[in-house]
Chains A and B, each alone.
Chain A
Amino acid sequence: MTQHAAFVRAAMAKPEPPPVASRGVIGWARGNLFNNWLNAALTLLSLFLIWTVVTPLVRFLLVDAVWQGAGRADCLPEKAGDAIGACWPFIGAKFAQLIYGFYPWHLHWRVDLTFALGAMLLVPLMIPRAPFKTLNTILLFGLFPVLAFFLLVGGNFGLEHVETRSWGGLLVTLVVAVTGIVASLPLGILLALGRRSHMPVVRALCVAFIEFWRGVPLITVLFFATYMLPLFLPNSWTIDALLRVLVGVALFSAAYMAEVVRGGLQAIPRGQFEAASALGLGYWKTMGFVVLPQALRLVIPGIVNNFIGLFKDTTLVLIVSIFDLLGQLRAAFADPNWATPSMLFTGFAFAGIVYFLFCFSMSRYSLFIERHLGGGRR
């Protein structure tokens, strides 16, 4: 008999890493993309579709693109090579027009300053942790519009007057969108409250207003404001064309906003109103402290949806001869000095990127705010 010393592990063996096939990228792909034959087929199909779309896009926008040039000759296939790519010098030459429209060149700094001021006031307001919210809000919604008005229109404080007729491009898109967005929310809330009011006259007026503006297309509103209104007003009354459009857009979007807010109001249980009454709160305090904070939080997706829709609807001002970004682009297409086969694609690609950046950031920010306020968690 021989003695064998039994082998006893003093410590647990280190766990082996999971097999290569079930960890890391491969594991994730196997678990999520190729976990059965249907998913595998769909994954491959999607990859193929993405490949077929993205490759030519990248080729057009970057690889085959012309980056430097002074006129159409530089973007023609004879010079730039057979594959037609984007003609970025065209956007470069028209860039100032796409941003400022026909705003006088030597006064562009005024637009830049307005943009910068707006961004400086807006960004800290959007970051929940930044301090001085009350002051910031007062500055942005009280002082900034006045400053922006005097900066952009001029005619005072030694600033040269610039007619709104010569505004255009992104400037007009932003002015129309921001005015519409800022004016439509408070107006919409008032209309929504009015529509649920117990006072018959207020209710009737609000219902009539909302239904009227929802019943007519925006194009008709713009057309009416621009061409019909002057016929009905006395000759001496001339209202600025852009102002007429701004008022039209604001009222139009307020009606839509009212219905979104009303949806939120209806979701608030009766108990909340009763509890507020029991505490002795009056109507405005009930609404301001109890009902609206809950209702608005519920309808953030709807509100942002409206904002994004409004931002894109601003392109309709083209039909009343106000050149927004897209209108200015269309005018640029008519320049024979830049007419090339790739001109249209280049222009629309640029406009698409700009619109996407704005709308996408609005949508991402609204998601962030929703999470921050915890609206979706209930």
Chain B
Amino acid sequence: MKSVMCRLAFAAIIALTAQAASAQTLKTVKERGTLICGVSQGLPGFSNPDDKGNWTGLDVDLCRAIAAAIFNDAKKVKFTPLSAKDRFTALQSGEIDVLSRNSTWTSSRDSSLGLNFAAVSYYDGQGFMVRKSLKLNSALELTGASVCTQTGTTTELNLADFFRAHKMKYEVIAFATADETVKAYDGGRCDVFTSDVSQLYAEKLKLTNANDHAILPEVISKEPLGPVVRHGDDQWFDIVKWTHYAMINAEELGVSTKTLDEALKSAKPDVKRLVGTEGNYGEQLGLTKDWVVRIIKQVGNYGETFDRNVGPGSRLGIARGLNNLWNNGGIQYAPPIR
């Protein structure tokens, strides 16, 4: 209890001092020569080290894209792995320049922590995994089911809301950690395993017979995940936000690592604006004209990073779903570069 009080007190001090934090993140980053990016301590598909010790993942690629835009070198980024508890403190205290750590955008986080969510890089939501042998097609058929979940998370609250709203009976079996929850589900202690959909796909790989399990189509909560920056530096906020938008616009306009050379010769006005052969939109952000070219050449567009890290090109094999472009049935939509 005491430590909770201390934490709150510290958080208050930080929130106050964070307001005074320098409004010159871009300058600091350029002087330092590297971007310092806060990521998770290991979340499959979003940020995890590979066998060579290089960080990979969707969140990681966003950081690399920012570094590419600033330095023309996607390698000039250092990753600070952060726990869920310390992530916002680390950003507030200036330990990191940007937090790209599967953080859900909520009103309270946006308003009371002295932080800004720059964009939504991944639309996640809570879902259900069941055994195929139960022959269920919808979460609405889960009446009377026993549900494994992690205790003390919003997952547990969302679950209660969903079943109450549909007047269905259920039994919760909660565990302290994600690993325990998966083991319990795998061991048959419960019929259903609930968590964020991206995590369901990741945990599915750890089940004894992954093919015997299916993820139900219903998504019962909104978990928009995105990069976070400190209050008080609008230029930096814009750079992070537009790095993400640039990757989405590139996908929408068909500009990828493969088609970049053609795009540079393209006569289409919107492609010309994107790759900087027309206008000075990068300079307005404090970057260079060819900022999008740098991003696409070294990291790729949004579709490419999605496919490589969490989509069909990865072990997770998550479908695009909500994260498809707006003109493809999803809700990823970026304002135009012009």
> Which positions in A face B, CB cutoff 8 Å?
72, 76-77, 84, 93-94, 96-97, 101-102, 105, 163, 165-166, 217, 219-220, 223, 226-228, 230-231, 235, 318-321, 323, 327, 330-337, 339-341, 343-344
What are the residues of chain B within 8 A of A337 when measuring CB–CB? 50-51, 315
Q: A331-B48, A335-B51, A341-B208 are in contact. Are A319 and B314 (CB under 8 A)?
A: no
> Residues of B contacting A163 with CB < 8 Å?
78
Q: Is there an interface contact between B3 and A217, defined as CB atoms closer than 8 Å?
A: yes
CB <8 Å contact, B53 and A339: no
Structural contact, A335 and B49, CB atoms closer than 8 A: yes
CB B180 to nearest CB in A, in angstroms, measures 10
Does B48 contact A105, Cβ atoms closer than 8 Å? no
- How far is B48's CA from A359's CA once the two chains are assembled, in angstroms? 30
A-B residue pairs in contact (CB < 8 Å), sample of 27 = A72-B205, A93-B51, A96-B53, A105-B52, A165-B80, A228-B10, A228-B93, A231-B13, A231-B93, A318-B41, A319-B85, A319-B86, A321-B82, A321-B86, A327-B41, A331-B41, A331-B49, A332-B49, A334-B48, A335-B42, A337-B51, A339-B315, A341-B186, A341-B207, A341-B208, A344-B179, A344-B183
Q: Decide yes or no whether B209 CB sits under 8 A from chain A.
A: yes
User: Chain A residues near B78 (CB, 8 Å)?
Assistant: 163, 165-166
Q: Does B238 contact A (CB under 8 A)?
A: no
Q: Is the interface of A mostly helix, strand, loop or mixed?
A: helix
CB–CB A227/B80 < 8 A: no
In the complex, the number of residue pairs spanning A and B with C-beta atoms less than 8 Å apart equals 111
Q: CB-nearest residue of chain B relative to A90?
A: B51
User: Chain B residues with Cβ under 8 A from A235's Cβ?
Assistant: 22
Contact B51 A339 (CB under 8 A): no
* Shortest Cβ gap from B18 to chain A (Å): 9
Q: Which residues of chain B (153-187) have a CB below 8 Å from chain A?
A: 179, 183, 186
Residues of chain B from 295 to 332 with CB closer than 8 A to chain A in the complex: 314-316
Interface size class on chain B is 35 or more
Bound-state Cα–Cα, A223 to B85, Å? 11
Q: Answer whether A339 and B95 are a contact pair too, CB < 8 Å, given A84-B208, A105-B52, A334-B44.
A: no
Which residues of B have CB within 8 Å of A217?
3
The residue on B at minimum CB distance from A78 is: B209
Is B45 an interface position by the 8 A CB rule?
A: yes
How far in angstroms is the closest Cβ of chain B from A81?
12
Q: Chain A residues near B202: list those with CB within 8 A.
A: 334, 336, 339
Report the minimum CB–CB distance from A93 to chain B (whole Å). 5
Residues from chain B with Cβ under 8 Å of A330 in the complex: 41-42
Q: A220-B6, A227-B93 are in contact. Are A340 and B205 (CB under 8 A)?
A: yes
| A339 touching B44, Cβ below 8 Å | yes
Q: Give the chain A neighbours of B40 by CB distance below 8 A.
A: 334
Kindly provide the distance from the CB of B42 to the nearest chain A CB, expressed in whole angstroms: 3
CA distance A163 to B50 in the complex (A): 20
Which B residues lie within 8 Å of A327 (CB)?
Answer: 41, 81
> Would you call B51 and A319 a contact (CB within 8 A)?
no
- Inter-chain contact B316/A336, CB cutoff 8 Å: yes
With a cutoff of 8 Å between Cβ atoms, the chain A residues found around residue B42 in the complex are 330-335
Does B90 lie at the interface of the complex (its beta carbon under 8 Å from any beta carbon of A)?
Answer: yes
**Residue B83 CB within 8 A of the other chain:** yes
Interchain nearest-CB distance for A217 vs B (Å):
7
* Least Cβ–Cβ distance between A265 and chain B, in angstroms: 32
- CB of B155, distance to nearest CB on chain A (Å): 19
Please give me the residue from chain A that is nearest to B315 by CB atom: A336
Beta-carbon contacts under 8 Å, B54-93 to A = 78, 80-83, 85-86, 89-90, 93
A321 to B315, CA, bound (A): 27
In the complex, are the beta carbons of A336 and B314 less than 8 A apart?
yes
Decide if B43 is an interface residue (CB 8 Å cutoff): yes
- Expressed in whole angstroms, the Cα–Cα distance for A165 and B40 within the complex equals 15
User: Which residues of A have CB within 8 Å of B316?
Assistant: 336
Determine the residue in chain B with the shortest Cβ distance to A336. B315
Bound form: Cα–Cα A72–B315 in Å = 10
Bound Cα distance A220, B78 (Å) = 26
Q: Residue B17 at the A interface, CB < 8 A?
A: yes
In the assembled complex, how far is the CB of residue B89 from the closest CB belonging to chain A, in whole angstroms? 5
Within 8 A of A (CB), among B107-131: none
Residue of A nearest to B186 (CB): A341
Sorted nearest first, the 5 A-B pairs with minimum C-beta distance are: A334-B42, A339-B205, A334-B48, A336-B315, A331-B42
Q: Is B14 an interface residue (CB 8 A)?
A: yes
* Distance from B88 Cβ to chain A, minimum over Cβ atoms (Å): 10
B206: Cβ under 8 A from any A Cβ: yes
Expressed in whole angstroms, the Cα–Cα distance for A163 and B47 within the complex equals 21
A230 vs B18: C-alpha distance when bound (angstroms): 12
Question: Are B43 and A334 in contact, CB atoms less than 8 angstroms apart?
Answer: yes
In the assembled complex, which residues on chain B have CB atoms less than 8 Å from the CB atom of A336? 44-45, 48, 202, 205, 314-316
Report Cα–Cα, A295/B273, bound state, in Å.
78
Whether, in the assembled complex, B224 has its beta carbon less than 8 Å from a beta carbon of chain A, the answer is: no
CA gap between A228 and B202 in the complex, in Å: 34
* Contact assessment for A319 and B83 in the assembled complex, using a CB-CB cutoff below 8 Å: yes
> A321-B90, A331-B42, A332-B42 known; A97 and B206 CB under 8 Å?
no
Chain A CB within 8 A of B94 CB: yes
Chain A residues with CB under 8 Å of B17's CB are 231
CB distance from A106 to the nearest CB of B (A): 12
Q: Are A227 and B89 in contact (CB under 8 A)?
A: yes
